[in-house]
Amino acid sequence: MANFYKTLNQTNDIVNTRTLLHEAIPLTGTIVSGTYGVENIKNYSHGMFQSVYDYPYLSSSANHIFDITAGYASNSGLSASANNQNSKKINIYNQMAQVMMGYDQTGSILQFDEDGDLLAGGTKQKENIFLNFSRLLVKDEIKKGSFELEIGVTPAYAQNGTVFGSRIKLADLSGSDGYLVNSPVGEYGILYATQSAGANVMAPILSGHSTPVGLLFYQAGVAVITGSIFLEVASGGILNNAHNNVSMSGPSSTAETVLAVLTGSQISGAADNIRTRIYNLQFNNTVELNSTVYFCRANHNEFNYSSNPTYLSGSKIRVKTQTTDVPVSYITTIGLYSDNNELMAVSKLSEPLKKTPDNEFTIRVRLDYWFINKPQ
């Protein structure tokens, strides 16, 4: 008797697996600051942030890479009502801190902390640059320990063709095993700065050491960087005093320090000055692929006949030449059915498998599925 259906055993025949896939995302500084001039940079009338694309943004082929903005806390020494877009910069900081850090027991917004220990005090980062990467690049999250951002710390900026002779590298050096979990948006790591190119760039007391300069939120895809990366030690930064505060001339401003940029320029102007100093940016993203594997077993006494009408000619099996020949069938397709006998999935073999009472098969059918923008 021909059997065309078989019940799968939940314990022995069905296995659920989880696989993490990673893709390298290299973004050269020329894409961010020079290849297309400003045609791939989109500014908005509200002036709250700037968007960077991998191609002129009016093109249908353009992909959104990241948004860049800057802001400071209301209790920052930079905050003053006379500043350009002062309230917007405070709002930017508060919005990012509210989402990334959350609230304390009194209902106040927690500020970004240098070492991530929110409740123990410590050094707060009150003047920050924010890079918000698109979900297209980040996927489920940034792979821990893979993030590297090289920034030029010279007065020159990329669009005037000058090569950055002095650079620092920001990386989540302890991200793979030293990440933190006390954020409403998931896991995050500390960004450390090291000298990347040039001589005596970082202060002697910091040179050769990893200095915390920001936070990287892996699932949210947001990098929070302190503005002190452009300041000398005497001004509260990390650069060698002989290197001086970086005089940040840029496409939309005259030469001035990062503090002056954050207070005197619009957010788009600050974004221009920072963006055009990005030398290199790279990380690996992560996609969580969930799979269910069904082991479909055809034992020696199963599936040796076909339900195809052409299998029979009258009462005779076409594939048998002698009555003593064993029955033969060819497995080409496997269907997965629900308990209500509804066809839920179909699997096609690359070539037919010849099935006789003399052989057995175990066919592995895998269903992959993943969540897009899954809740944190």
pTM of this structure: 0.81
Q: Is residue 129 part of a domain?
A: yes
pLDDT of residue 292: 94
Indicate the helix (H) or strand (E) that contains 355.
strand 343-355
Residue 295 lies in a domain: no
pLDDT of residue 256: 64
Q: Cα–Cα distance between 158 and 33 in angstroms, integer?
A: 6
What would you measure as the largest C-alpha separation in the chain, in angstroms? 100
Q: How confident is the model at residue 177 (pLDDT cuts 50, 70, 90)?
A: confident
What are the pLDDT digits (tens) for 98-136? 999 999 888 999 999 988 776 666 788 999 999 999 999
268 in the same domain as 346? no
- Greatest mean pLDDT among 46-55, 258-267, 304-313 lies in 46-55
User: Do residue 211 and residue 352 come from a single domain?
Assistant: no
| pLDDT number for residue 314 | 66
Residue 305 vs residue 287, higher pLDDT: 287
For tokens 């202060």, name the residue. 203
Distance CA(234)–CA(59), nearest Å, equals 46
Whether residues 126 and 39 share a domain: the answer is yes
pLDDT above 70 for 242: no
6 close to 302: Cβ distance less than 8 angstroms: yes
pLDDT of residue 342: 93
- Residue 14 domain flag: no
The pLDDT-based confidence of 375 (bands split at 50, 70, 90) is very low
Cβ count near 338 (within 10 Å)? 9
Please check whether residues 336 and 200 belong to one and the same domain.
Answer: no
State phi, psi for 112 to the nearest 5 degrees. -65, 135
Q: Are 354 and 330 in contact (CB under 8 A)?
A: yes
Host domain of residue 39: 24-283
pLDDT at 299 over 80: yes
Residue 228 has pLDDT above 50, yes or no: yes
Of all residues in the chain, what percent carry a pLDDT higher than 70?
A: 82
What confidence tier does 318 reach under pLDDT thresholds 50, 70, 90? low
The per-residue pLDDT for 361 is: 95
Asked if residue 268 and residue 316 are part of one domain, the reply reads no
| Structural domain includes residue 136 | yes
Mean pLDDT of 288-304: 91
- Residues 236, 342, single domain; the answer is no
Whether pLDDT at 56 is above 80? yes
Domain annotation covers residue 155: yes
Q: How far apart are the C-alpha atoms of 99 and 112, rounded to whole Å?
A: 11
Region 321-349: what's the mean pLDDT?
87
Domain tally, the chain: 2
Is 63 found in the same domain as 176? yes
Max avg pLDDT among 92-96, 172-176, 210-214: 92-96
Q: What is the pLDDT of residues 262-291, one digit of tens each?
A: 888 889 888 888 888 888 899 999 998 899
Has residue 5 been placed in a domain? no
Q: Quick one: 333 and 197 in the same domain?
A: no
pLDDT of residue 1: 42
Across the range 228-243, mean pLDDT stands at 79
Decide if pLDDT at 222 tops 70: yes
Spatial contact of 265 and 89, defined as CB atoms under 8 Å apart:
no
317 with 279, same domain? no
Of 74-78, 220-224, 254-258, least confident by mean pLDDT is 254-258
In which element (H, E) is residue 358 found? Answer: none
